[in-house]
């Protein structure tokens, strides 16, 4: 019987900060639909993505960034939870 020894965690570190990717996780629900964003950092345990830049909310105490500033959401994805990664090829 053939054994698949491929591990997605071995491929992720070959990607680069600033690269745009879509990451699919083994989670169900919304997380299973994938996260598209720009790679901010990769460490031994997690991948950090900046999702679509969004405006900071107006008049919210503790909001990150100034109202109207381009701020996005950062998502932390454990490498062990990644099922696949896609990237644009030009």
pLDDT of residue 15: 78
Structure tokens at 67: 């109202």
pLDDT of residue 70: 56
Q: pTM value?
A: 0.67
Q: What is the 3-state secondary structure (H, E, C) of 35-64?
A: EEEEEEEECCCEEEEEECCEECCCCCCCCC
Radius of gyration of the chain (CA): 16
pLDDT of residue 9: 62
Mean pLDDT by 10 residues, the chain (90 residues): 61 79 80 83 90 59 52 83 81
The neighbour count for residue 11, using CB atoms within 10 Å, is: 13
82 vs 80: CA distance, rounded Å: 6
Percent helix, strand, coil in the chain, to 5, is 15, 40, 45
* Domains, the chain, with CATH or none: 10-86 (2.30.30)
């Amino acid at each position: 019987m053939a054994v698949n020894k491929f591990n997605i965690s071995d491929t992720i570190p070959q990607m680069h900060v600033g690269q745009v990717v879509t990451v699919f996780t083994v989670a169900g629900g919304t997380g299973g639909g994938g996260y598209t964003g720009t790679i901010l950092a990769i460490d031994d345990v997690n991948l950090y993505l900046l999702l679509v830049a969004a405006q900071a909310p107006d008049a919210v105490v503790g909001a990150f960034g100034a109202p109207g500033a381009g701020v996005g959401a950062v998502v932390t994805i454990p490498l062990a939870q990644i099922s696949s990664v896609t990237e644009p090829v030009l």
